[in-house]
Amino acid sequence: MAMEKTCPVCGARLTNKLIFEYFFYGTSHEIKCPVCGHCLRPVKEPIPFMLCYFIGLISMVLPMLYFLFIRGYDFVYSLLLTLPLIIIEIITACILTFVRIRFQEVRC
């Protein structure tokens, strides 16, 4: 699996720390190549945000409805049972983003 991300200008390896910056600041954030100083931005959203949102919603709402109405648990307990699913979903989305992210040069 090609986990290594490189600068499209000079080919330098981009550190994980730089890639994680993108997680905190979003797609509009630019990172600077530590070697050549060019500004880099992800090519596009590695995974579509709306898709994540939709899957997240479905994976939360369906189990909630199941626990609430079919099993008859109360709201807080149903939410607690649903929580691990949501956490797994978020972790999966992060890993997918990290694996699929590619950078392009942009004007600073």
36 near Zn ion (CB under 5 A)? yes
What length is written for the chain?
Answer: 108
Cα 93 vs. chain centroid, distance in angstroms?
Answer: 5
Where does 4-108 have alpha helices with state H? 16-25, 49-65, 75-100
Number of residues counted as binding Zn ion (CB under 5 A):
7
40 near Zn ion (CB under 5 A)? no
* Complex with Zn ion: residue 70 or 108, whichever CB lies closer: 108
d(CA 78, CA 67): 5
Stretch that binds Zn ion, among 33-41, 43-51, 83-91, 98-106 (CB under 5 A): 33-41
Stretch that binds Zn ion, among 27-35, 47-55, 61-69, 76-84 (CB under 5 A): 27-35
